[in-house]
A and B are shown apart, each in its own frame.
Chain A
C-alpha cells in the first residue's frame, strides 16, 4: 500500500481540483474511470490503492489538459488569434506553451513539490523531443501495451534504483486536429513515425507512485 501521506495528498488533490499542480497535458486524451468516486469510497473504507490513486490523479490531469487543448489552444487557432502556441514560446512574442509543454511544466512543479509524493510524465514511442522517450523497461512495455491495446491502461510495479514504484501508463490519444497535424508535420519526427489521425494513441501518461516496500 502507498503511504498515508500520499493518500492524503491524493485526496487533497482531488478535493481542490489540483489545477495548478497536476496541470494540463499534451495532445490527446485518454480513457479514465470515474476515479474521484472510487477514490472517496475507497478512502472511507479501506484506504486508497495505488491504482485508484493513479487513476484519480490521472483523471484530474486529463480534465485540465482537455480544457487547455480544446478551449484554449484550438480556440486560438480557429480564431487565427495573434497569440498562438509555439515550442519556443519562452523566447517569442505572443506565444504560449504547447499542450505537451504545459503538461511537462505541471509535472516539473509536482516533482519539485516535496509534499506531492508521486510523479508523472508524458512520454511516447514516437517522441518529437528526445527527453520524452521511454527510459525504464516498464515504461517501454507500458507504452507498447497501450499502443497495441486500445482502450486499456497498463499497470505494474517496477524497481528503479533501490525504490519500488507502482507504475500506471494511460494511453494518450489524438483528440484535436491541431495536435495530430502538428505531430504529423513536425520537422523533428523520424521517418518511421506513423501518421496520426483522430483517436490514435500518440503516447502515454505515466503516473508513478513510490511504494513502501
Chain B
C-alpha cells in the first residue's frame, strides 16, 4: 500500500517536472516571439509602465525610441520633435549649453539631454500634459532670480512654469518684450478675425490653377449612373473649380523617366495622392495624434483607441483624410466642427455648442457675419498659419497644445488681448466650459514685465539727464 502510494507520488513529481519544463519552454517561446516579432501586441508584456498619451499609439514599435539593445536612441526625441522645437524658437536649445563653462551647471541639470526632465513609461510622474516634468527645474540654474528680478521675491521655487508665466521651450507668447508690447490690450480686440485661407489665390499667382470643370468634363472610369452623388459633391467642391478632375485623385500620373504615365484607376485615394497637392497639411496630420500611427507605418488609428472620451457610435472609425473630409464633399465647414464632434465626447468639446465661439461660427456659416469672424474647433486646434509661402491650416491638432500657451499667438491673439488669452488658458475650469465665461484669475506677468521695463526706462532717462547736465 505504502509502496504504491510512493510510486504515485513519484510519478506525480515526475509529471510536475515535465509540466514545469513544458511551461517554461512555452513561456520562453512566447517571450522570444514577443521580443523578436515586429510590432506584435505581445510586446506589451515588456512595457515597463504605461506609455504617455502621445507615444502609446506607437508603443509596439519599441525601436522608434530604443536601440536593439534597448538603450535610448541618440535622436529618439529630436528625431520627431526637432521641427516643433525649432518652430517654437526653443529658449533652451541644447546648443546653448555646449559652451564648456557650462560643465558645472550641466552636472546639476543636464540641459542637453531631453531625458533629464522627460521620462517615458512612468505614469505616476506623467502630468496631464502628457510628459513627466519636474516642477523645480528652473531654480536649479536660475538661482539668482530674486536678485535679477526683485519682483519675483516670495514666489515659490517650483511655481515658475505652473503659474502661467514661463515655459522651458516655448516662450513666444510669454517673454518680456511681447508682454510689454501687448500690455493693456482689451479682452476682445477691435477687429477680431482669423487669417483667410489663400491656397486658391496662391496657386493662381503661380499659374498652377487649372480651369474650372463642369459635369461634362468629368473623366471618371465608372459608369455615369454609379457616380451621381460623387459627381454632385465634386461639382460643389474646390477640386472642380481648381481644375482637379476625377483622374487627378483616382488615377494620378506617375513619373516614368521624363514622362508622366497615368496609374490604373483606383477607387480609394491614398494619403500620398492628397499629399501631392496638400503636402504641408498632410505632414501636419502625420505629426499629430490623428496621423502619427500612419507616420510610423502602423494601420490608421481607430477612434476606440483614443484615451480621450469618444462617442461610442464612432468607436470603429479609422482616422484618415476622409474621416474629416468625406470623399467628394470637401466642405471645410463640415471638417471644422461637425467632423470633430462626431467623435470627440469630452466636456470641452461638448461645451462648444453652448459657447459664444459657436455663436460666432453659426453667424459666419449662415452668412450673417463676414468670413473669418467665426470660431470653430479648427480655428483653435488647426490654426491657419503662414508656411510654405501661403496660409496653411496646421493639421497637427496638438501642435499648439501642451503647453497650451503655444496657441496664444497663432490663435487667441487674432481676436483677444494677450493678457486675457494667458488668463483664459491658465483656467482649467474655463477650458472645460470651452471658454464660456471669464477667467477666474489674472496672471500678473504682463504687469510685472511692464513695471520692469518702465523702471529700466526711468533709470535710462535719469542717466541721460545726468550725462547731459555734465
Query: Is residue A130 contacting chain B, with contact meaning CB distance below 8 A?
Result: yes
Q: Is the CB of B467 within 8 A of A195?
A: yes
The answer to the question of B37 belonging to the interface, with a C-beta cut-off of 8 Å to chain A, is: no
Q: Which of A88, A112, A160 contacts B101 (CB 8 A)?
A: A160
Does B104 sit within 8 A of A, measured CB to CB? yes
Given the known interface contacts A91-B178, A108-B95, A185-B464, the answer about A139 and B101 at a Cβ–Cβ threshold of 8 Å is yes
Measured between beta carbons, the chain A residues less than 8 angstroms from B456 are: 187-188
Contact status B464-A111, CB under 8 Å: no
Query: Hey, which chain B residues are within 8 Å of A108, CB to CB?
Result: 93, 95-96, 98
* A111 engages B177 (CB within 8 Å): no
Closest partner residue, chain B, to A109 (CB atom): B95
Asked whether B95 lies within 8 Å of A112 as measured between CB atoms, the reply is yes
Interface string of B91-110 (1 = CB under 8 A from A): 00111101111111001000
The contact of A88 among B100, B103, B177, B459, by CB within 8 Å, is B177
Q: Which residues of B contact A66 (CB under 8 A)?
A: none
A87, A112, A160, A191: the one contacting B103 at CB < 8 Å is A160
Question: Given that A91-B177, A130-B148, A161-B103 are known contacts, is A112 also in contact with B98, CB under 8 Å in the complex?
Answer: yes
Compute how far the CA of A89 lies from the CA of B457 in the bound complex, rounded to whole angstroms: 20
- A111 and B459 in contact, given A91-B177, A130-B148 (Cβ under 8 angstroms): no
Q: Give the contacts of A163-190 with B (CB-CB under 8 A).
A: 163, 165, 185-188
Which residues in A have their C-beta under 8 angstroms from that of B463?
185, 191
User: Which B residues, 95 to 151, have Cβ-Cβ distances below 8 Å to chain A?
Assistant: 95-96, 98-104, 107, 148
- Is A119 an interface residue when CB atoms closer than 8 A count as contact? yes
Complex CA distance for A186 and B461, rounded to whole angstroms: 10
B460 adjacent to A185 (CB under 8 Å): yes
B101 and A135 contact, CB distance less than 8 A: yes
Count of chain A residues with a beta carbon within 8 Å of a chain B beta carbon: 27
Residue with the greatest number of chain B CB neighbours at <10 A, chosen from A87, A185, A195:
A185
Alpha-carbon gap, A208 to B101, bound state (A): 10
Report the separation of the CA atoms of residues A186 and B457 in the bound assembly, to the nearest whole angstrom: 9
B-chain residues with CB within 8 Å of residue A191 when the two chains form the complex: 459, 463
Asked whether, in the complex, the Cβ of B100 is within 8 Å of the Cβ of A90, the reply is no
Q: Contact string, A74-91, partner B, CB cutoff 8 A, digits 1/0? A: 000000000000011011
Q: Which B residues are in CB contact (< 8 Å) with A188? A: 456
Contact of B100 among A91, A131, A185, A208 (CB under 8 A): A208
Instruction: For the complex formed, measure the closest distance between the CB of A181 and the CB atoms of chain B, giving whole angstroms.
Output: 11
**Interface status of B89 (Cβ within 8 A of chain A):** yes
A160 to B457, CA, bound (A): 39
Is A136 in the interface zone, CB < 8 Å from B?
yes
A121 to B101, CA, bound (A): 11
Q: Are A111 and B101 in contact (CB under 8 A)?
A: no
A185 neighbours in B (Cβ, 8 Å): 460, 463-464
In the bound complex, how far is the Cα of B175 from the Cα of A87, in angstroms? Answer: 13
Chain A residue numbers with a CB within 8 Å of B98 are 108, 111-112, 119
Q: How far is the CA of A96 from the CA of B67 in the complex (A)?
A: 42
Report chain B residues within 8 Å CB of A210: 100
Q: Min CB distance, A142 to chain B, in Å?
A: 12
B17 beta carbon closer than 8 Å to chain A? no
Q: With CB as the reference atom, state the residue of chain B lying closest to A208.
A: B100
Interface membership of chain A positions 107-143, coded 1 if the CB is closer than 8 angstroms to chain B and 0 otherwise: 1100110000001010000000011000110010000
Indicate if B202 sits at the interface (CB-CB under 8 A): no
Q: When chains A and B are docked, how far (Å) is the Cα of A108 from the Cα of B177?
A: 23
Q: Quick check: is B298 within 8 A (CB to CB) of the other chain?
A: no
Q: Is the CB of B178 within 8 A of A187?
A: no
Question: B residues 427-461 with Cβ under 8 Å of A?
Answer: 453, 456-457, 459-460
Q: Flag if B453 contacts A187 (CB, 8 Å).
A: yes
Most chain A C-beta atoms within 10 Å of own C-beta, residue among B89, B101, B103, B456: B101
Say how far B237's CB is from chain A's closest CB, in angstroms: 36
Q: Which residues of B contact A135 (CB under 8 A)?
A: 101-102
Task: Tell whether, in the assembled complex, residue A163 and residue B95 are in contact, meaning their CB atoms are under 8 Å apart.
Answer: no
Residue from A130, A131, A187 within 8 A of B459 (CB atoms): A187
Nearest chain B CB to A95 CB, angstrom units: 12
Q: A131 — which chain B residues lie within 8 A by C-beta?
A: 96
Bits for B291-332, please: 1 = Cβ < 8 Å to A, else 0: 000000000000000000000000000000000000000000
Evaluate contact between B99 and A111: CB separation under 8 angstroms: yes
Q: Which of B70-99 contact A (CB under 8 A)?
A: 89, 93-96, 98-99
Question: Which residue on B lies nearest to A188, using beta carbons?
Answer: B456
In angstroms, Cα B93 to Cα A185, docked, is: 30
Of the A-B pairs whose beta carbons lie under 8 Å apart in the complex, a sample of 8, sorted by A's number, is A112-B94, A119-B100, A136-B101, A160-B101, A163-B100, A185-B463, A187-B456, A187-B459
* The 9 residue pairs across chains A and B that have the minimum distance between CB atoms: A161-B103, A187-B456, A111-B98, A135-B101, A108-B95, A112-B95, A136-B101, A187-B460, A160-B103
Give me the interface of B with A, judged by CB distance under 8 Å. 89, 93-96, 98-104, 107, 148, 172, 177-178, 453, 456-457, 459-460, 463-464, 467
Not counting A119-B99, A208-B100, a sample of 4 additional A-B residue pairs whose C-beta atoms are within 8 angstroms of each other reads: A160-B104, A163-B103, A185-B460, A187-B457
